[in-house]
Structure 1
Amino acid sequence: MTKRHAFTLIELLVVISIIAVLMAVLMPALRYAKQQATGAVCLGHERSLILAWHTYPQDNEDKLVGGNPYPNSQNYDIAWVQAPQNEAREVMLGAGSQPTESGDLAYKYEVMGLERGRLWPYLKTAKVYHCPGDQRKIQAENSAFRSYSILWTMHGAYSRQHESDPVYDTGEVAHTYTEIRRPATKLVFVEDQDDRGWNMGSWVMNPLGERWTDSLGLWHADSGTLAFADGHAQRRKWRDKRTIEYFKDPYDSSFAHSTPENPNPDLKFVQEAYLPTGKGPGQHR
């Protein structure tokens, strides 16, 4: 009978080294595949959201749903979602308008805000408000669930006075669907990674500036999902390394953090998709 020999220490070390090399090679590929899969699910959610958004003005005399869920904003009563709140409709926000709770209770209050928004009757499920690549909801210091925001310019300004706020330099906000020119090129929903416990307000940028203001979610292998006013959604690969670096550091999203970076094809693309009516500064479309 053949006598079996145990592995020597050197043989074991060789095997372990081979496994380590294989893991180093395979892990990035597996991570990329996972990000691709979450991107496909996220794109489906964006399509559901934009279909509901597109249907709303057809049912409401051409008026756009409110894009700003911040309490006391001009269109809060018709906002697509409302702020985190309890069963008694009390807004559960504390200092800095951040949620008063975290974890499961924060999730419960945020979903109640979703259910009381104007798009809920078209969607009727909380899952379409969340991208599976968005991990903020498992972070104790954040706990945000909703992954998407509507642009400031799509009936998302805080007040009429803010619609021409020089900080955002828009000069235009669409209130009805017919005001939107070339809707296939105008953004409505973006992935938003606000670090204040929920996606507060609407998504903003300076369309004439040289830097980003709010960052976008970077949850799909350096790409993001976007939804447009004609009802289509798409996935876009970000091309400029400065865009990717900024989006990877969302927890320092101050104006000073985003350094001037024109020409940047990503910034230019979003700026051109940001102004819907063609009436703002420098608009001739």
Structure 2
Amino acid sequence: MSKQRGFTLIELLVVISIIVLLAAMLLPALTKVREMANKSVCASNIRQHTVALTAYASENDSKLPRVGGGFWLWDLQRTTVNQLLKNIGLEGNGATSQDQPDIPAPSVFYCPSNMPQKVRRQLYWDYHHPPPPPTPQTWAAYRVLGYLFILDTAQGRDPILGTGNKQWPRTLNIRYPADAELVTDITMSDKVNFHPPEYPNGNFAMVLVGGAGGQVTGYYDTSSHLKTDKEAAGGNIGFADCHVDWRPFNEMEWRFGGVDRPWHWW
């Protein structure tokens, strides 16, 4: 009776090499497919926020909510977030409570492509509550969200950078709502802390978290859709008429930030 011949070491190495090669060939394609799916999720989330803002305006003489606490465009007052949740139809999940830091962060406020926020989403959601040491307590009742809200403050902001005299949206009584940006994906770069010559627009993949919390923990944020750390891929833009378009980065401009905060692009 003849013995069965097993694989030789060389044959096993050849098989393993083929598997590794196939994996290397398939991984970029799978990554691309996953990112396309994430872009669609983000577009859907942004559209829900534009609809929620429109509903808010319809109940408040066409006025949009004002931004109070926070320093970046993703900082939104808890009261405003609660109203958006109500308009989206998520009020019943308990997220409208004013004083409960342990409520799960709704996924509709975060982009699945943004890895820091995907990993630490609850920390962003509860940012103004005392987080675990060594992060100190912040001073304003706001949420740190996964999208940029193009809203004015109660005091009024300076005109949007690079637009001449374009004002920040305060009402939906505007002539061209299809051209008025309201909510966008996070596209930002750290020009303040990271600006060597090879990064003329700053670093899009490593943006130091602002405020005392970031200085203590050393956390970094990132643009949601990256091409490289020197350049974002672009982002979804939600407009006042509730439609959403993808805008490639080469069509974006620096619109907000500088000195003590990162550059925000749309």
> What band does the TM-score fall into relative to the shorter chain?
0.5 to 0.7
What amino acid is the match of 1:40?
A: S
In structure 2, C-alpha distance between the alignment counterparts of 1:118 and 1:20, rounded to whole Å? 50
In structure 1, C-alpha distance between the alignment counterparts of 2:88 and 2:245, rounded to whole Å? 19
The correspondence of residues 254-273 of structure 1 with structure 2, limited to 5 A, is: 270=266
Question: TM-score, normalised on structure 1?
Answer: 0.55
Q: Would the alpha carbon gap of residues 236 and 29 (structure 1) be closer, same or farther in structure 2, given more than 3 Å must change?
A: same
In structure 1, C-alpha distance between the alignment counterparts of 2:121 and 2:45, rounded to whole Å? 25
In structure 1, C-alpha distance between the alignment counterparts of 2:178 and 2:161, rounded to whole Å? 27
- Give 1:42's aligned residue: 42
- Give 1:136's aligned residue: 116
- Give 2:176's aligned residue: 182
What amino acid is the match of 1:173?
A: W
Secondary structure, counterpart of 2:245 in structure 1: strand
- Give 1:278's aligned residue: none
In structure 2, C-alpha distance between the alignment counterparts of 1:15 and 1:224, rounded to whole Å? 41
Superposed CA RMSD: 4.2
Determine which structure has the larger helix proportion and give its number.
1
- Give 1:26's aligned residue: 26
In structure 2, C-alpha distance between the alignment counterparts of 1:218 and 1:49, rounded to whole Å? 19
Residue 147 of structure 2 contacts residue 186 of structure 2 at CA under 8 Å; is this kept in 1? yes
- 1:188-208, CA deviations, whole angstroms, 9 ceiling, x for partnerless residues? 10112675279xxxxxxxxxx
- Give 2:241's aligned residue: 230
Residue 222 of structure 1 contacts residue 237 of structure 1 at CA under 8 Å; is this kept in 2? yes
- 1:246-281, CA deviations, whole angstroms, 9 ceiling, x for partnerless residues? 9xxxxxx9679x99xxxxxxx7xx4xxxxxxxxxxx
What amino acid is the match of 2:48?
A: S
Q: Would the alpha carbon gap of residues 197 and 128 (structure 1) be closer, same or farther in structure 2, given more than 3 Å must change?
A: farther
- Give 2:84's aligned residue: 119
Percentage of matched positions with identical amino acids: 25
Q: Tell me by how many angstroms 1:139 deviates.
A: 5.0
Q: Would the alpha carbon gap of residues 20 and 119 (structure 1) be closer, same or farther in structure 2, given more than 3 Å must change?
A: same
- 1:76-125, CA deviations, whole angstroms, 9 ceiling, x for partnerless residues? xxx9942xxxxxxxxxxxxxxxxxxxxxxxxxxxxxx3785432210244
Q: Tell me by how many angstroms 1:184 deviates.
A: 0.7
Residue 114 of structure 1 contacts residue 120 of structure 1 at CA under 8 Å; is this kept in 2? no
The correspondence of residues 188-203 of structure 1 with structure 2, limited to 5 A, is: 188-192=182-186, 195-196=208-209
Q: Would the alpha carbon gap of residues 18 and 254 (structure 1) be closer, same or farther in structure 2, given more than 3 Å must change?
A: farther
Question: TM-score, normalised on structure 2?
Answer: 0.58
Q: Tell me by how many angstroms 1:38 deviates.
A: 1.3
Q: Tell me by how many angstroms 1:15 deviates.
A: 0.9
In structure 2, C-alpha distance between the alignment counterparts of 1:42 and 1:234, rounded to whole Å? 11
In structure 1, C-alpha distance between the alignment counterparts of 2:26 and 2:8, rounded to whole Å? 27
Number of aligned residue pairs: 194
Residue 57 of structure 1 contacts residue 64 of structure 1 at CA under 8 Å; is this kept in 2? yes
In structure 2, C-alpha distance between the alignment counterparts of 1:80 and 1:121, rounded to whole Å? 18
What amino acid is the match of 1:231?
A: C
Q: Would the alpha carbon gap of residues 58 and 167 (structure 1) be closer, same or farther in structure 2, given more than 3 Å must change?
A: same
Q: Tell me by how many angstroms 1:173 deviates.
A: 2.8
Q: Would the alpha carbon gap of residues 140 and 176 (structure 1) be closer, same or farther in structure 2, given more than 3 Å must change?
A: closer
Q: Tell me by how many angstroms 1:147 deviates.
A: 0.8
The correspondence of residues 85-104 of structure 1 with structure 2, limited to 5 A, is: none
Residue 113 of structure 2 contacts residue 224 of structure 2 at CA under 8 Å; is this kept in 1? no
- 1:129-171, CA deviations, whole angstroms, 9 ceiling, x for partnerless residues? 11122222355699435211212xx32x4723x4359899756
Residue 70 of structure 2 contacts residue 76 of structure 2 at CA under 8 Å; is this kept in 1? no
Residue 185 of structure 2 contacts residue 235 of structure 2 at CA under 8 Å; is this kept in 1? yes
